[in-house]
Every structure is written in structure tokens, then in C-alpha cells.
Structure 1
């Protein structure tokens, strides 16, 4: 759904004076949440939601040194350089079409989508959806700036995962996720846990056709979303990313050259499986939603709850669109702390 109210652009302008993180490690989720609200016809709730979230925002970080064509590799993965990277992508997008910038930088950034707890790639996914929705009525400056912020955050938090051992997998995404073994020590934050992931089941590794990659990625998003209903109690917030990260990758495919679809699938699988290994509980818990709700009613519950991860998982659940996905969204409402003033 295209936002014709201008509320999304107003919100993005309001947010671009804030940094991509707070407290040096926690992600600013507001740009992603407001895009989800606007995408589902709730633009009128955007500023109200932002008023509640505003205490979590921090000022935009200072610049260190200009990122250039000569030095960008040295700046990759340096979180102190977030402002430098955002400025760099702002200049890149001002000089050439945004799709061209995305196509050039996607293969450079894709190996490092695990940094920032996968939030940078999720922010880019929301930014791209906003731009694609805006193409019918003209791409706006705030939406282009949001893509620059998302790509800049991704470059600053670039963190690759190398040397994973291929373990026995399965044919379906759901069975492959079931085959993921939890890491032994499940304490510490995302970077510490990620360092303990040494191997993941093989899934879709033989895929070479772009259309098959699209189909497989859609299957992965569906499976990870469904799985949250029965496994979300392992860690209500972090397990959201097992579904929202691959969905963010899926959302960018229409804006990318087809040659990038297969590597996008492989990176998305590794991210979803790694999050599952890091946070999934040892055993599932049966879950039946309280009654039958329409997609619109489920999204209304997510908006009323207000938590940014609930909104984003519900947004992904509505993309999947089936009963089990909606049940996962309702489960996230039950498991998560609401956003309050």
C-alpha cells in the first residue's frame, strides 16, 4: 500500500537527525517501524508511535573521516564511521539512480549482514520497499535518504561469518530449521553468541536459478515466521530476526539484478539459521491463538501493543499471509513487553 498522506516522509525527516543506534549497541528501530505502519495503511499512527519511541533516540553521531572510493575498505565494519558511511551513500545516491547504487554495493555488503544483529539489512529492506511503493508517484528525498542511512549503517556494522562447517540438512526450509542445533552456551549478546556458531545445516545450497532462489527465500520466510509461534518463547525479541532478516532480503530482490538473487538466498539462510542456533529453545511449545482474527485485526493488535519487534514481525506475517503466520504475530504480542510512555 502506498502512503499518500506524506506521513512516512515526515517521519523519516524527523528521524534522520538521530543516529542508527543508542547506547553504542542498541539499534534505532523507528525508521523500520514507521515504514511498516505506513505500508499497512496506518500512517495516521506514525507520529503518535514516534512520540512514544522518541526517548530511545540519540543524536546523530559525529563524522570521523570522509569515505571515498580509495579508502572504503578500511572503513568497512567500523561502527565509529556510521556518519561517514551515511554521508557517503547520500552522495552516491545523489549522483546516480538508487537501484544502481544498491546493485553495486549489495555484493560488497552481503557477506557482512550479520553485524548489528541483522538490523542494518532489515532497515535496508524497509527502505527499498518504501522506494518501490513510491515509484508510482515519484521517489521522494526522505526515502532516498533513508536508503542512504540503511546502507551506511550496514557498512558501519559490517560483520562477516566465515568457516561454518556444513552439517546434515533437509530439503524443506522448515525441516532445515528444525535441524539447527542450539549452541551450547547461550549467554551473552548477539556478537558473543554468533562467535559460537561453528556449523549450520545445509539447505538450498544447490540452487543456481534466480527464480528458484526467489521461491526458496519465500519458503524460508514462511517457515521462520511459522516457527516463531511454537519457538518464540526461547527469546521473544531476538527470534523475530530469524524471520524478518530473510524477509528484508526478499523485499529487495525486485530492485536487484537477478544475478544477485542466489547469493542473497544463501546469506539469508545463514542469518536465519544462525539466529535460530543462538536463541531457539530446546523444545517447542504448542500454541493456539485466542480466536480467529483477520490480518487487519492482527495488525491492529500489534499497533496497539507498540513494541517495534512485534510490529515488524506482524508486518512479515502479513506478507506470508496464512493462519499460522498470523498466529506467530499474535504470539509475539503475548510474549513481548508493550511500548509505553
Structure 2
């Protein structure tokens, strides 16, 4: 049995708690928040036996094996460091921190302490995405030449909302853009060329962002994210011998369509349970059972490379969280 703790009590924490019920061998033992009232309310709603009024108390619970950190981006570093100091394995929401320097510190600390650490880029553990990677590896569409993906939400968000709060790491890029960037990285790796533009809000965060990633192989990724208009949330991967289309939302598609030259489109349905968060929990438990300190599906190197790309995009569009 793997005993879980959840640090934070917001919407994502609640969704993770519900999906954890679908994970064999998982027990949600404890929740921690900055206030006792919030922790106890979450515990009552989700049937959690232990509620703590501080992050440190949760990290100190000797019966908790792994903690899922679901705070806003700006608190990921502090919360994860507290859990690592308490000797806990950690699954921390994406993006793992606000910048590459903070991400490196978490990775180095986890390695020094011999503790498991994984960024919760749940897309990479999703069975549909894993099937896409498998198909491409088998040569289903030849060499990848293009990736297109978008993630835009309608809004509008009020000035006090976390999406517009610079102090909380607000903006479209870190919250939404991390998905298309991660997809491009998954399929093509680190680009050799990068261009980006964004509309910046009065608060100093990006509202609508476009990115073009270029590769010396000739491949290109055209990506966008925004919080001022709902986009289709689809993705297309083109290769020298066909293309793969990911249904909405592309990071958790219920089906993928494979187009090959001189062949009828092939629709691959992928049966997904729950909200999809259980797959990252399953991967964490598998890694812990095997004594791994990082996941081969979401390795530390990938987390750091994607965060480096996000840093580079922010530098180009003029968003600074310092």
C-alpha cells in the first residue's frame, strides 16, 4: 500500500483525490494546508483521515510515503522543499517551479537526499499519448516534420484571479502553454531555434502567446496558448508518411486518428477512466516499488529542458517573475 498526502486543497487537489480512488494500492492518508479549517474541510469532503494545518506537519507524518503538491506555481518550490526536508517522495504539479534555477535546485536536492521527485506532467503518462509515441516509434507516419498544438481558454479573468497575478506566476504560458511545449519536446526534443510573441496584460503576464520552435532536422512546431479566447485544444503531428490528429483536449484525448498515405483514416479509441490524474499516480507508485528516484516517462532531464524552454520564451515576450 502506498500512502499519499496532498499538499493544498484547491480544485486540482480535489480532482487528484477523486482519481486516486481508481489507483490500486493507493491510500489517501493525509492533507495539509496553511489553515486548519481548509485542511479539515477537504478531509471531510474526500474522506481523508488526517488533516494538518501546515505543510511542515504533513511532511513530518511518518506514515506518509509520497506527497502530491498542488499549490499555485509560485509556491511549488517552497512546498516541495518542505516535503523533501521531511524525507518524502514528491509529485509536484506542473510547471515544477517558476524558472529553471528553482527547478534545478529541487532536482539536485531530491538526488542528494535519495528521494523520488516527479513533475506532474500527467499528459506524458496518459495511455493515449503513450500510444502516439509508440506509433511514431514504429514508423506509422515516418519522420516527424511538424507539430501543431494550442491551449486557449475563454476567460475573462478578473484582475485578482491567479491567472493574472504576476506574484503567483500567472499568465497563459506556465499554466497552459506548458502543454503544447511539452508535446513538442516529447516528439522533437529541444529546438535549435525559437521565436515567440505575446500580448502582455496590465499586470505584466502573457494573455495570448505564440511560439515557433525550429529544428535543424527541418521540423517545426507551431504552438499557442492564451486566456482571452477558447481555442480548439487539438493537436496534429505530421510526418513524412502521414499524420496523427489528437482529439480535444489533446493532452487527454479520447481518440487519436492516424492518416497514412493511400489508406483510410484509422481511429484509435483509448478507454480512459476518471479525470486522467490516476495515471501519473500509478507511475509514481510503480517507480517507488522499483526503487527509482525519477520516472522514465517524466525524467528530470525532460522537466529541466522544458523549463529552460519556458524561460527562453518568457525572455522573448518580456515576462519576469523575479
Query: Into which bin does the TM-score normalised by the smaller protein fall?
Result: under 0.3
Name the one with the larger helix percent.
1
The structure with more radius of gyration = 2
